[in-house]
Amino acid sequence: MLSGSIPTQIGNLNNLTELDLSYNEFTGSIPSQIWNLRNLERLELGSNLLSGSIPTQIGTLRNLSELDLSHNEFTGSIPDLGWLTLLNLSYNKLSGSIPAQIGSLRNLSELHLSNNEFTGSIPIEIGDLGWLTLLDLSYNKLSGSIPTQIGSLRNLSELDLSHNEFTGSIPDLGWLTLLNLSYNKLSGSIPAQIGSLRNLNELDLSNNEFTGSIPIEIGDLGRLTLLDLSYNKLSGSIPTQIGNLRDLNELDLSGNQFTGSIPMEIGDLVLLTRLYLAHNNLSGLIPTQMGKLHFDSLDLDMSYNDLEGPVPYEIALETLPEKWNNNKGLCSNYWKLPCKSSEKKIEKRLKLKIPIIISLSSIIILVAFVTVIVRFLFKQKSINSITDATRTQKNGDIFSIWNYDGTIAYSDIMEATEEFDIKYCIGTGGYGSVYVAMLPTGKVVAVKKLHRIEAEEKAYENSFTNEIHVLTRIRHRNIVKLYGFCSHPRCNFLVYEYIERGSLAYVLGNEEEALELDWRKRIKVIKGIAHALSYLHHDCTPPLIHRDISSNNVLLDADLEPHVADFGTSRFLNPNSSNRTILAGTYGYIAPELAYTMVVTEKCDVYSFGVLTLETIMGRHPGELISSLSSLSREKDITLEDVLDPRLPPPAQLVARDLTFSMMLGIACLRSNPKSRPSMQYVSLELGNPMNPDCNTSTQVHCG
């Protein structure tokens, strides 16, 4: 990485056509000698520390077509520029208004001016840029109305005017694929003409002052993958036409005034990964059709509405009750939430009136039944004390003899869970439900039972056998223990040690639990995960790659000690193989190189660990921070204050030092080049060293 000022001698390269000095640490201003490079066609100085104003001499380079000065510290205004096709001045400190002369760049195809301090309105001359395909003016202080001239840009496909102070309504727009007008002061209704943008992939109108209802024409946007209308003043019912958006991944309608029931057509949006309908006035029953959604991978928030009635079993099975908090009267046997006052209304609506005489009879029968059971159990207590030794002799250490027949194990588990009664279920994973069971010996275990449908699919069967193969070969204090397994015609299940607190994702997502997981305990969690991964990568022969490290797959015990779980997609590295594989893992934790190499290495787990480290410190997934790291290209730009979970009080000085060191190691694990990431052995050793490097130099982590 180069630093200092850009050498003036560069102006002697008279025949130079392309100059790329981006992603360095150059300081000072652009040397005037660069304007001697009359043949220059592309100039890229982005991601440096350059400052001062943008020289007016740039306009003299008549052959220059691409200019990138982004991610610097330039101040002042935009000078006259030549015949550019691409102009990127984003992430600077430029101010003033966008000059009307910008309209003279008739060949411009991309204009990036985001993350500056521009004020005033968008000049109407912007409509003269007939070849423009991308216009990004986000994160400025622009105001006024959106000029109608933008609608005449027939080649424009991406328009981002978010995070400004625009007022007025949405004008007619062309053939966009992306429209982001979020975080402005736009008002009026969402025009029905929005439905004519048939190529639109992303529509974000959130955090404005739009009123009225959602136009039914929204259903014509068949290519939409993201629809965010949150935090406006929209009202009326959610149109059923929203079910036509079969490619939709993210739907956020929260923070409005929608009424009526949830349209059953939302159940047709099976590709959804995010569904937010919170903070509205939605009422009525939850449609059973929503059970078709993939709740195991769905980020859901339905809280603060007026929903009532039973939560469909298939939905309750795979969502957390807090995702439905503050509704009128939801009830679920699975969640142990009895219906309150709303139950009477629902029963009346469903005409389920039970005669009083039958109710009284049922109570009498129930009391008699309980009396018999109590007397029976009292009698059995003395018998059990005699037969416990016999049972132990009969079953022995049942876990050591389990195999694919497993008849003894099967009968014990079926008895302990009452044939997998729902009252013993404590969670649902990707391919099975988890039950808690107390065995005859008094030992408490967790049982993961494969769903009936999944058990018949080859992929899930492979995952089942793979987890057995892996966990019977490894042992580590921070890896969940497999006690046994059973494959039976009626069901397949795995039996693990019982981890009391549940997943790290659950603890971080629960306000009370997150507060208990203080800074020292979070450092302990990060260290434990690092030690487990170091063991898998460097102490196992051949090395074992987990492939799905995420907060859902780290369990915390009663002492908040972490245990890595879910080895269904793990893989031993074969030194004589290319180790190519299909894409596996949890979205948001997968190393970027897997998308194009499909080759699994230990550095894939290292990347996931980096995400998990920041998530543990931040208390939430660091999605936006990861994106900014790739654009900043300077790890030292991130400070501890940027990532601390605001729910916890500020850490003491020594703890802050350890947190900073953990943070910088985590950031190093997120480097885009896998070879630049440290090994988990290095991370584990450094985190385990009480005399770790001073935080000011901790960015210089070594690579393994």
Give the residue numbers marked as catalytic. Answer: 548
DSSP state of 538: I
Could you give the CA distance from residue 271 to residue 273 in angstroms, rounded to a whole number? 6
Say if residues 27 and 49 touch (Cβ distance below 8 Å). Answer: yes
List the alpha helices (DSSP H) in 486-601: 504-509, 511-516, 519-534, 594-597
Could you give the CA distance from residue 420 to residue 405 in angstroms, rounded to a whole number? 19
List the alpha helices (DSSP H) in 547-648: 594-597, 602-618, 623-632, 640-643
Could you give the CA distance from residue 341 to residue 330 in angstroms, rounded to a whole number? 10
Please tell me the number of Cα atoms within 13 Å of 661 on its side-chain side: 22
Could you give the CA distance from residue 513 to residue 648 in angstroms, rounded to a whole number? 11
Say if residues 192 and 214 touch (Cβ distance below 8 Å). Answer: no
* Structural tokens at position 498: 């019982």
Residues contacting residue 465 through CB under 8 Å, at least 6 positions apart = none
- Tally the residues of the chain: 704
- Spatial strand order in the sheet of 117-120: 3-5, 25-28, 49-53, 73-76, 93-97, 117-120, 141-145, 165-167
Convert 93-108 to b/e letters by CB count within 10 Å (16 or more is b): ebeeebbeebbebeeb
Query: What residue type is 465 in one-letter code?
Result: T
Q: Which residues, in sequence order, are bridge partners of residue 49?
A: 27
Q: From residue 263, give the alpha-carbon distance in Å to each of 195, 267, 283, 317.
A: 20, 8, 11, 21
For the chain, what is the largest distance between any 2 Cα atoms, rounded to a whole number of angstroms? Answer: 102
Q: From residue 540, give the alpha-carbon distance in Å to each of 381, 534, 600, 625.
A: 47, 9, 16, 33
